[in-house]
Amino acid sequence: MLDTTPQSDAAPPQDEPRGCLFALSQPPLMIFLAVIGTLLLMAALHDLLLL
């Protein structure tokens, strides 16, 4: 049978600030950064190879 009693030491404290690694782990932010990075890469390649 599963132990469903709440563990007091398992949950992190709620008042602890979260760092930037937590922010970077969010999918919408990573998608946004990937799109911006792709646009910058395409612009750089266009400047280097086609102009």
How do the pLDDT tens digits run along the chain, 51 residues long? Answer: 666 766 666 555 667 777 777 777 788 888 999 999 999 999 999 999 987
Coil, helix or strand for 24? helix
Q: Please check whether residue 29 is in contact with residue 23, taking contact to mean a CB–CB distance below 8 angstroms.
A: yes
CA distance linking residue 1 with residue 17, whole number of Å: 36
Give the pLDDT of residue 34.
95
Give Cα separations from 33 to 17, 25, 40, 45, 51 (angstroms): 23, 12, 10, 18, 26
> pTM score > 0.75 for this model?
no
The DSSP output letter for 4 is -
- Residue recorded with tokens 């782990």: 25
